[in-house]
Amino acid sequence: MGLRLPAGIELASFRPRLLDDWRQYNRQRFVQDISAGLTVGVVALPLAMAFAIASGVKPEQGLITAIIAGFLISALGGSSVQIGGPAGAFIVIVYGIVQRYGLGNLLIATVLAGALMFLMGLFKLGVLVRYIPVTIVIGFTNGIAVLIAVSQVKDLLGLKIEHLPADFFSQIRTLAHHLDSFNPIALCIGLGCLAIVILWPKLYALPAVAHSPAQRMLKAVARLPGTIVALGLATASTALFGLSVETIGSRFGGIPQTLPSPQWPAFSWDGIRQLFIPTLTIAMLGAIESLLCARVADSLSDRPRHDPNQELMGQGVANMVVPFFGGIPATGTIARTVTNVRSGATSPVAGMVHALTLLAVVLVAAPLASHVPLSALAGILLYVAWNMGEWHEFVRLRQFSMLYRVLLVGTFVLTVVFDLTVAVEVGLVMACIFFIYRMSTLFRVEAVALPADAPGTVQLITLYGSLFFGAVAKVEAIAQHLRPNTQVLVLDMQRLISMDTTGLDALQQLHRSLQRRGVRLVLCHLNEQPRGLMERSGFAAELGAHNIVPDVRAALATAAA
């Protein structure tokens, strides 16, 4: 049971999934988790550096995030197999915040966003993320993928641009103005890495039985992640042949061989006030990405389903801690989580091993990263951007309604042209408006013919659907369409499933309008929710118990009395 507040609000209990998995842990599961963690650690190495560089920060900040946040998310989260760390979805957001507010304010916004995510989980708001329409998620995901791809053109072509703007159209203009500094060697390296990453999985289709030493060696090599193979070949070529391309060493001076000491960010009230929107954006995107990723992991794994509230609390703690070491926002990552599941992970231990693997690489092999060409990371990120987008949804648009198309395409365009916050805010407003419109069209007011022996002064109308603020106009029009000789109006509410206070007010106004005309209102077949609302508001007493009857027959008998 969670904590209970004096007002009766129940808080979620802080219980990481690791504690539950530990009860049935054994040596076999430990071996599987070690193997999966090592595999994911190797996959995460180039992605952590690439995401950091694309976000406008140093590569070691991506590694620090993957190590510290990745460990905490696995240890404290609500999923058995989710892997956390820097994510592609954050690239555009982090880059924009760094350009506008500076790195120091990014760290503060990340701490505040972590606190907000923790509170969301504590107050059991994790389920609310599922209420965001899939059209909005697809729209902003595809928009972010486009922005990531555009941001990588600079390093892919080796353009000499000191600062790339955060705005989409400014980026396009800046790239076009610097095309004369194009480096063909950088393009060849980037496209070569992209080709390796795309084609490498084809080696998995090799025959199951290897007959020759060469086939056995090829199958063993095929187990390596394509990103590591591409990065290794590009780095070795650059170092051995002295290729004239920009590298991590030439831009950032290499990667430190130690973890940084914790430092306290410079907090100020004025600074916090201007970071409201960045904080909200990081928290919202982190929550959406982590819970979507956890749902994907649930569908691929036979482990118990994730706890969304605990997952948000774990993500919140990680994002509150990692900025003190210079890290950037972290969330659940689909590519690394899927790799973790397919590698046989059984518990959060695999994610913790993944973080320790990255730590070992930093402590031992950090100097080697100086020769990594930035165009190679750009090629890898282009592949990430392509996989991130759900491009087939654009092809399928003609199969769906106009409302679906407007919502998806509108969110996509707003994400590219403006930013994620504007896109989601406008998308949610549009989704609400479309939902209200759709629900209002489902509400019907239908006149029903009475038996031949029924009095001619009685008129029967049936209400269908939900009577809410978006549909009250149809109730308000009832009085205008009554027959001139009508003395009793019977509303059959058997098919009225719900009613809100605005709908109740419309009924009250109808009753008073009928009273002025000398027409009596009788209700029958009241369902539980409308009846309860009428009784609590006093409308049932105003109408009178004799005018609320069980069925149409009783209504006709009441009208004849």
Domain boundaries, the chain: 47-357+375-388, 392-441, 443-560
Q: Mean pLDDT over residues 489-494, rounded?
A: 94
CATH code of the region 443-560: 3.30.750.24
Indicate whether 548 pLDDT > 50: yes
Given pLDDT bands bounded at 50, 70 and 90, which one contains residue 263? confident
Residue 165 vs residue 329, higher pLDDT: 329
pLDDT of residue 533: 95
Other beta carbons within 10 angstroms of residue 333's beta carbon come to 31
Tokens 């930035």 sit on residue: 374
Residue 128 vs residue 279, higher pLDDT: 279
- d(CA 405, CA 120) in angstroms, rounded, equals 31
Report the percent of the chain where pLDDT is more than 90.
64
Residue 267 vs residue 368, higher pLDDT: 368
Mean pLDDT score of the chain, rounded to an integer?
Answer: 90
pLDDT of residue 90: 92
Residues 431-468 have pLDDT tens digits of 999 989 888 999 999 999 888 778 888 999 999 999 99
Q: Which of 49-63, 206-220, 258-272, 323-337 has the lowest mean pLDDT?
A: 206-220
- Pairing mode, if any, of strands 458-467 and 444-448? antiparallel
pLDDT of residue 382: 94
Other beta carbons within 10 angstroms of residue 393's beta carbon come to 19
- d(CA 497, CA 514) in angstroms, rounded, equals 24
Indicate whether 473 pLDDT > 70: yes
**DSSP secondary structure, 381-434, as one string:** HHHHHHHHS-THHHHGGGGS-HHHHHHHHHHHHHHHHS-HHHHHHHHHHHHHHH
Whole-number Cα distances in Å, 192 to 197, 225, 233 = 9, 15, 10
Indicate whether 83 pLDDT > 70: yes
pTM listed for this prediction: 0.83
Given pLDDT bands bounded at 50, 70 and 90, which one contains residue 335? confident
**DSSP secondary structure, 268-296, as one string:** -HHHHHHTHHHHHHHHHHHHHHHHHHHHH
Residues 363-398 have pLDDT tens digits of 998 888 899 999 999 999 999 999 888 899 998 888
Given pLDDT bands bounded at 50, 70 and 90, which one contains residue 1? very low
pLDDT of residue 7: 55
Residues 183-227 have pLDDT tens digits of 999 999 999 999 999 988 777 665 555 567 776 776 667 677 888
Indicate whether 2 pLDDT > 70: no
pLDDT of residue 271: 73
Indicate whether 77 pLDDT > 50: yes
Residue 209 vs residue 135, higher pLDDT: 135
Task: Give SS3 for 468.
Answer: coil
Looking at residue 509, its amino acid is Q
Residues 396-405 have pLDDT tens digits of 888 888 888 9
Residue 452 vs residue 117, higher pLDDT: 117
pLDDT of residue 454: 82
Report the percent of the chain where pLDDT is more than 70.
95
Tokens 């896109």 sit on residue: 423
Residue 462, beta-bridge partner list: 446, 492
Closest CA to 319 of 307, 303, 331: 331
Q: Mean pLDDT over residues 297-317, rounded?
A: 92
Indicate whether 127 pLDDT > 90: no
